[in-house]
Amino acid sequence: METDLLVTVGKSLIQHGYYNNRIYLISLHPDDVGKVLDSISFLQLTCSYQKIILKVPRSLEKDFSTPDTCIEAQIPGYYQGIEDALFLSRFYDVTRSEDDAYDIIRQNIRTCQEREKSSVNKTSNGVVIREADISDIPLMCSLYQQVFETYPFPIHDPVHVQKTMNGGVPFFVGETKDGIVAAGSCEIDIYASAGEMSDIAVDTRYRGLGLSRFMLSFMEDKIKEKGVKTAYTICRAEPIQINRLFSGFDYEYGGTLVKNTNICGKCESMNIWYKKLQYSDF
C-alpha cells in the first residue's frame, strides 16, 4: 500500500499526499497557529491537492476560515471535555465535494440514530481481548492487509505499527487458538484528552460473532483508565455495520466528511461519531 507523509510542525501534526489527495491537519497546538497556516498554504500552492481538512478548536475557527471553508463535522467537548473540535474543509475539485452515495449515507445515519443500544457478550465465543505487544505486529499487519484493500495510514507496515506503538498508541487484539482474529487501536490526543477509536478489523471467518462490540468495549475501558474524556471515530459512511457499531454504544453523530479518505480501494466519505466518557467539572 502507498501512504501519505506525516509532517510535524512544532507540536502539531499534518498529513499530506496524493494517496488521499488532501492535506489533513490531524492535531493543532495553539502555539503553532502561524506556522501551521504557513505550512498548509505552502503545501497547497506547491501540490494543488483536491481537499484540505482541518481539525481545530472552535476558538481558532476564525484563524483558519476562508470564504471557501465549510464546517463538515464537529465533536462537542473534544478538548478536555470543554471546547468543541471543528472539522473545517476546503474543496479544490468539485467532484470531491459531491458523493453519489449521499442518499444511502443519510438513510444509514437515520437508521443508526433510531437503533437501540447494543449489548456486549463478555465471553465472546472464546476470544480473548488484550493489549497488543511488539510480538503481535506481524499477525496484526497480516489481518489488516486481509481486511483493508487500501487504508489512509500504513497499518499494513510492521515498521510503521511498531513506531506507532513505541510512540504510546495502544493497539489491541482478539485472540483464539487460531491466532489473532481481531485488532484495533486508540490514538490518544493528550493535549485534548480525546481518543480516536480506529483500525478495528475482524477476520472474515469470525464476523457475525460480536467481536467488534467486544473489542470496542474493551478499548473504552482501557482509555477510561487513562482519564480520556471523549472517544470518537472517523469511520466509513456507506457500510451500515460499522456505523451501527458506534451508534449502538451511545456514540453521537458529528457529521460527514465528504470523499475524505482512500480506504478499501476508493475515495470514500467518512462519518464522525463521538461519545463523552467523562464529564468536565466546569
In terms of phi and psi (left: phi > 0; alpha: psi -120 to 50; beta: otherwise), the region of 59 is alpha
Could you tell me if 79 and 142 lie in one domain? Answer: no
Domain end call among 42, 74, 97: 97
Parent domain of 22:
5-97
Q: What is the pLDDT along the chain (282 residues), one digit of tens a residue?
A: 578 999 999 999 999 999 999 999 999 999 999 999 999 999 999 999 999 999 999 999 999 999 999 999 999 999 999 999 999 999 999 999 999 999 999 999 999 998 767 666 555 568 899 999 999 999 999 999 999 888 888 889 999 999 999 999 999 999 998 899 999 999 999 999 999 999 899 999 888 888 999 999 999 999 999 999 999 999 999 999 999 999 999 999 999 999 999 998 899 999 999 999 964 454
Q: Are 107 and 239 in contact (CB under 8 A)?
A: no
Could you tell me if 65 and 194 lie in one domain? Answer: no
- Does the residue 238 lie in any domain? yes
- Does the residue 176 lie in any domain? yes
Domain end call among 53, 74, 97: 97
- CATH number of the CATH domain containing 67: 3.40.630.30
Q: Which helix (H) or strand (E) holds 41?
A: helix 33-47
Could you tell me if 72 and 123 lie in one domain? Answer: no
Give the Cα separation of 134 and 219 in Å (integer). Answer: 18
* Predicted local confidence at residue 280, as pLDDT: 46
Could you tell me if 85 and 14 lie in one domain? Answer: yes
- Does the residue 281 lie in any domain? no
Give the Cα separation of 162 and 40 in Å (integer). Answer: 28
Could you tell me if 81 and 110 lie in one domain? Answer: no
Could you tell me if 18 and 125 lie in one domain? Answer: no
Could you tell me if 144 and 226 lie in one domain? Answer: yes
- Does the residue 282 lie in any domain? no
Could you tell me if 244 and 150 lie in one domain? Answer: yes
Give the Cα separation of 279 and 282 in Å (integer). Answer: 9
* Predicted local confidence at residue 208, as pLDDT: 85
* Predicted local confidence at residue 1, as pLDDT: 56
The model carries a pTM of 0.91
Could you tell me if 78 and 133 lie in one domain? Answer: no
* Predicted local confidence at residue 264, as pLDDT: 86
* Predicted local confidence at residue 118, as pLDDT: 66
Count of domains forming the chain: 2
Domain end call among 41, 72, 97: 97
Return the closest-CA partner of residue 230 out of 282, 191, 199.
191
Could you tell me if 254 and 162 lie in one domain? Answer: yes
Could you tell me if 109 and 193 lie in one domain? Answer: yes
Could you tell me if 200 and 112 lie in one domain? Answer: yes
